[in-house]
Chain A
Amino acid sequence: MSLEQQTPKKESAGAPSNMDSNRRESGKHSDTKQYLTFMLAEELYGIDILKVQEIRGWSHATQIPNAPKFIRGVLNLRGSVVPILDVRRRFTMPEVEFTAQTVVIVVNVANRTIGMIVDSVSDVVDLPIDELRPAPDFGSSIDSSFIQGLSPNGDDMVILINVEDMLKGCDLVKVDELEKMVADVE
């Protein structure tokens, strides 16, 4: 919650497809946007901080019958029942033991609350929007549809993820329903 309050300005959550045209057109702008960064298999990822509701530790989730494997189950989040998405499984990364660092980032997307399990959270960073690079096209070998862009951060690079796009393939919500909701929000 406190994270939310830190964000001073509310910018339109740009759709990924507009991202590179935005960059070209508004090259002079030096607007920044805040991102929450987290580690996943030694890489730094970032998501729009306005989507983040809270961060909590991992605790055992209740299994949902016949759910996709990357849905770890549901957790009790102060009375509401929240599905938990294992991002490693979602990205078909090798599984690791959960440690004390393992956290659940609770995000609010399209009127839904969903938890994402990541290896650890790192920081809140300001990233200039106009320095976003589009993800390279990997062809069909790697699914890059939910990568919003890559952003240099010091010597490092942050892979920015669009949460809505990531959820589209997750069988969480009917796709068209989600798209409509996203469209409504925008």
Chain B
Amino acid sequence: MNIDISQFYETFLAEASEHLADLESGLLEAETSGEADMDSIFRAAHSIKGGAGTFGFDEIAEFTHVVESVLQDARDGLLELKDDVISQLLRSIDVIAELIAAAKEGRKADINTKQDVFEALSAFLGKTAAEIKTKDTDDGTDMTQSDEHSYYSVKFEPHLNMCQTGSDPINIFKELKETCSFSCTCNTSEIPDLNEIDPHSLYLSWEIELETTATQEIIEDAFIFVEDEANIVIEPIAAISLGSPEKIAENSKVALKSKSNGAVKKQGSETAFIRIAVDKVDGLINLIGELVTTNAMVELQMRGIDGEEHRNLINSICEMTSHTRNLQEGIMAIRMMPIEFAFSRFPRMVRDTSQKLNKKINFVTKGGQTELDRTVIEKISDPLTHLVRNSIDHGIETPEERLSAGKSEEGEILLHAYYKGGNVIIDIKDDGKGLDKDSILKKAIEKGLTTEDANLSDNEIYNFIFNNGFSTAKAVTDVSGRGVGMDVVARNIKALNGSISIASVPGKGTTFCISLPLTLAIVDGMATKVGDQTYIIPLLNIIESIRPEKDKIRTLNNNVEMIQIRGEYLPLLRLKETFTVEKSTGEDELGRGIAVIVESEHNKIAIFVDELLGEQQVVIKSLESNYKTVEGVSGATILGDGNVALILDLPGIVRLSQREGRYHTVKKNSKAVINQMNKIQQESMNENTHIDLRDLEIDVHSDLIKHEQPHVKHN
């Protein structure tokens, strides 16, 4: 059979990245708690090396081999995992990550630290780099053979279901026989009465005595495939060997026993996952979106049916509806990932950053199992990194400052994710010095964002830090202080339909609270009617809806309308005019329609619509895939009756409203304007030219339209 091995490369590289992440988190745990699951750390390195060797990534295999050797010595107690060892190992992870990335992109790895790290690690092994390099990467040759005869006793107690997974003890014994002389007692005491025997279960256990020249590792290797399915204890016995007794002492009791916590973790991670291409899942999600829509259509038809006559049909439809809903939830859940994936990169970052800044930080994460849509997790990682980095740099004080403020030397940063309503909340909490309200206010006044006499709430003041270029840091460090971070953070979170708020107590600390929707594919919206069109306004942005009275509307000199709501004047945007909706029903008279007050990017505006149709969850469809981006519209959705409704993009609408002035001035003649514009467009088409409507300038002071140098493209 001819197998194209390259098709597995991608899988290997993806797996290698995961193993690397395990390796990193394991090492960090070892550093902080002083004890670690060395077996799993070692196994991660071993897997990377093995895979790399198999698939011909020699550079990765060769380098990882040294890492593995160091870890092996550490596991076997020959090498103490001191800080410098861990630091070098962490550096080596960066090297391997770069090697993997290079292999993924098919380029040459660009690392200058590789040789450094390689030599440093080799030094721990007490060998020079050259020696290791020349050594065969297959550890079978020079590690297995020694002249010493050692004796081991092995207790091998398979779990009942071991044979059901395709493992066979006979094969293990055969493998042992190749290197050891072997005597074995079989314990049959666990075999139940005949009528209780499950023919698929294995009731036997063995005690094996081995005499061998091979190392303990070889014996362990024989059991490697069943280590999770059996209790295995390998112990060296009676040092009648020709070798030094110390050696045996050193090797003592390093057992392959399936550690209880290790086993649970492994079962959780290995049996529970399959790897699926993302586009397959996306395909399913699209399909289920169709199904939900079709189902809604069927339900709509059902209303016209006589309930008595077609009771069975109606029952079936109701059942189908509930199955469809379950199916939808199930498929949406496929895309969900624990937020752990975003959290996992932080311990390392916190460690490096805090070392650089000479701060002591205890980094804690909670709620890593909280699940979020994959795309949300990918996009939230960067903002989170920024916030955590800010907390380290600006939030947490130096150990001296903390001690003099009567706090413990070590600062704490807590990353906490949890569900609240239909949202996921992520708190980034530090116990540092808190935000400096006065200097933020001073800076804001300096930048002309507010005036001195403005009466601002704490929250309003804190929110200034989300403005572009806003930094109160006295010095720009390479960690932060350039003031470009927070506005990006706020923008990214907005882009995910999320929001961020700040709570801060001087001297006690600061909490950033991010609220995110569970998924990007569905949005909670308010369906509104304008003329014969339905528009969806994202519920997240809606503050309230009111029926405005005529005397609450003021018109400014530019004919821009304002609405007064509880003492606040908000610009009023008539959707009918902004979107030039045809066939209005006449519901637009003020006093009859509804003003929906929305907030977006700290701007509040009132959107005037004919009526509210009700809240509903809508599946977002792209308008760009077949058309193009439309200003003021973020996407489309398909309603229960099969019609398309547009979803409003509020930042875009706000921008439209800010430009609205000139559209409003020609309001009375708006029909004429549109006709005129269409005429221009038609004419320009006949001339085989292309005019972008948005580039047409409408003269606000006259009823005539000039188009001042329209942007004309000749094809």
Contact = CB atoms under 8 A, between A and B. Distances in A.
Interface of A: 60-69, 73-76, 78-83, 90, 92, 112-114, 140, 142-143, 145, 168-169, 171-175
B580 A65 contact: yes
Contacts of A114: 626
B644 A81 contact: yes
B544 to A, nearest CB: 24
A80 B534 CA distance: 18
B530 to A, nearest CB: 10
Contacts of B189: none
Given A60-B643, A65-B578, A83 B627 contact: yes
A112 B626 contact: yes
A75 B642 CA distance: 9
Interface in B673-715: 678, 681-682, 685-688, 690, 692-694, 713, 715
A10 B137 CA distance: 54
A19 B174 CA distance: 76
Contacts of B533: 62-63
Interface residues of B, number: 42
Contacts of A113: 626
Contacts of A145: 688, 715
A79 B289 contact: yes
B299 interface: no
A76 B644 contact: yes
B626 A168 contact: no
Contact of B286 (A62, A79, A90): A79
9 smallest CB-CB distances across A and B, nearest first, come from: A65-B579, A62-B644, A83-B627, A79-B290, A81-B636, A69-B678, A76-B638, A112-B626, A81-B621
Given A75-B644, A79-B290, A66 B690 contact: no
B626 A65 contact: no
B150 interface: no
Q: Helix, strand, loop or mixed for chain A's interface?
A: loop
A15 B252 CA distance: 80
A76 B578 contact: no
A101 B468 CA distance: 57
Given A67-B630, A92-B682, 16 more contacts: A62-B643, A63-B579, A63-B582, A64-B627, A65-B578, A65-B630, A73-B644, A76-B643, A79-B286, A81-B622, A81-B623, A81-B625, A81-B626, A83-B627, A90-B685, A175-B690
Contacts of B625: 80-81, 112
Contacts of A173: 628
Interface string B552-584: 000000000000000000000000001111100
Given A64-B630, A80-B625, A175-B690, A143 B685 contact: yes
Contacts of A66: 579-580, 630-631, 693-694
Contacts of A75: 644
Given A74-B623, A145-B715, A171 B581 contact: no
Contacts of B293: 76, 79
A168 B685 CA distance: 10
Given A78-B290, A92-B682, A169-B715, A143 B688 contact: yes
27 contacts: A61-B644, A64-B633, A65-B578, A65-B580, A66-B580, A66-B630, A66-B631, A68-B693, A69-B682, A73-B644, A79-B289, A80-B625, A80-B626, A81-B621, A81-B623, A81-B636, A82-B626, A92-B682, A113-B626, A114-B626, A140-B687, A143-B685, A143-B686, A143-B688, A171-B692, A172-B627, A175-B715
B646 interface: yes
Contacts of A63: 533, 579, 581-582
Contacts of A171: 628, 690, 692-693
Contacts of A83: 626-627
B632 to A, nearest CB: 6
Contacts, number: 107
B639 to A, nearest CB: 9
B645 interface: yes
Question: Of residues A81, A90, A112, which shows the largest number of chain B Cβ atoms within 10 Å of its Cβ?
Answer: A81
Contacts of A143: 685-688
Contacts of A80: 621, 625-626
A73 to B, nearest CB: 8
Nearest to A179: B715
Contacts of A74: 623, 627, 636, 644
Nearest to B582: A63
Contacts of B685: 90, 92, 143, 169
Nearest to A67: B630
A8 B646 CA distance: 40
Contacts of B715: 145, 168-169, 175
A32 B644 CA distance: 40
Nearest to B619: A79
A90 B682 CA distance: 8
A81 B286 CA distance: 12
Contacts of A169: 685, 688, 690, 715
Contacts of B646: 62, 64-65
Nearest to B579: A65
A79 B688 contact: no
Contacts of B687: 140, 143
Nearest to A68: B681
Contacts of B626: 80-83, 112-114
Nearest to B289: A79
Interface in B286-305: 286, 289-290, 293
A1 to B, nearest CB: 17
Nearest to A174: B628
Contacts of A112: 625-627
Interface in B608-626: 621-623, 625-626
Contacts of B621: 79-81
A139 to B, nearest CB: 11
A76 B627 CA distance: 13
A169 B688 CA distance: 7
A74 B636 CA distance: 9
Interface string B532-557: 01100000000000000000000000
A64 B648 CA distance: 12
B686 A92 contact: yes
Contacts of A76: 293, 638, 642-644
A80 B627 CA distance: 11
A171 B623 CA distance: 14
Question: Of residues B622, B623, B628, which shows the largest number of chain A Cβ atoms within 10 Å of its Cβ?
Answer: B628
A64 B635 CA distance: 11
B290 A172 contact: no
A54 B682 CA distance: 28
Question: Of residues B293, B582, B631, B644, which shows the largest number of chain A Cβ atoms within 10 Å of its Cβ?
Answer: B644
Nearest to B715: A168
Contacts of B681: 68-69
Nearest to B686: A143
Contacts of B627: 64, 74, 81, 83, 112, 172
Contacts of B645: 62
Nearest to A69: B678
Nearest to B643: A62
Contacts of A140: 687-688
Contacts of B678: 68-69
Interface string B196-214: 0000000000000000000
Nearest to B683: A92
A36 B698 CA distance: 43
A144 to B, nearest CB: 9
Nearest to B645: A62
Nearest to A112: B626
Nearest to B287: A79
Contacts of A175: 690, 713, 715
A172 B685 CA distance: 14
